[in-house]
Amino acid sequence: MIGRINHIGVATPSIEKAVAVYRDMLGATKIGEKFAMPEQGVWVCFVDTPNSQIELIEPYGEKSPIHSFLAKNPQGGQHHICFEVPDIIAARDDMRAKGATVLGTGEPRIGAHGVPIIFVHPKDMGGVLVELMETPKGAH
Ligand code: CO
């Protein structure tokens, strides 16, 4: 049921500085506008690559869930991998049936792409925080 890698999440203390790395070091040219997702406590900016995206995330507000990550990784770093799935509820139920911990309430919320997402705890995923995202309608 695993689908394509939609994006790789990278936490950073400064989206502007992170954008400069992808632009100047790697030659990225398709760089979106930074936007806020206050309910998730993050600023987000997508850098497009030929086959995927890098999702740059910077803390928004005091209660941002990535403050603790940045405390451990002051320069920022790889934060999560997002795979597409055809049906987010089926994917959540499957994860739970296999004993995995779905973060938060477990109810999917709307992510930065406007489709429902969940996060699965890294302890169940070989140490990697995994985001599952319903494949956007009409994509691919
Ligand atoms: Co993400």
**How far from chain centre, in Å, is Cα 24?**
23
Distance between CA atoms of residues 42 and 112, nearest Å: 10
**Separation of CA 137 and ligand 1 centre (Å):** 18
The CATH number assigned to the domain holding 124 equals: 3.10.180.10
Q: Tell me, what's the pLDDT at 140?
A: 62
Residue 9 CA to ligand 1 centre (angstroms): 5
DSSP 65-90: TTHHHHHH-TT-EEEEEEEEES-HHH
Compute the distance between CA of residue 115 and CA of residue 118 in angstroms, rounded to an integer: 10
From first to last of its 140 residues, what are the pLDDT tens digits of the chain? Answer: 789 999 999 999 999 999 999 999 999 999 999 999 998 899 999 999 999 999 999 999 999 999 999 999 999 999 999 999 999 999 999 999 999 999 999 899 999 899 999 999 999 999 999 999 999 887 66
In a domain, 71, yes or no: yes
- Position 47 in a domain: yes
Could you tell me how many helices (H) and strands (E) the chain has, helices first?
3, 8
Let me know if 131 is a catalytic residue: yes
Summarize pLDDT for 73-104 with one digit per residue, the tens. 999 999 999 999 999 999 999 999 999 999 99
Q: Count up the domains in the chain and report the number.
A: 1
Chain mean pLDDT for the chain? 95
Residue 129 belongs to a domain: yes
Residue 139 lies in a domain: no
Q: Is residue 140 part of a domain?
A: no
**Which residue range(s) make up the domain with 21?**
5-134
b or e along 33-72 (b: 16 or more beta carbons within 10 Å of the residue's beta carbon)?
eeeeeeebbbbbbbbeeeeebbbbbbbbeeebbbeebbee
Residue 68 lies in a domain: yes
Q: DSSP label at 24?
A: I
Which pLDDT value is given to residue 138?
75
Q: Contacts by 115-121 with C-beta closer than 8 Å and gap 24+?
A: 115/88, 116/88, 117/82, 117/88, 118/88, 118/91, 118/92, 119/80, 120/95
- What pLDDT is recorded for position 136? 87
C-alpha 15 – ligand 1 centre gap (Å) = 15
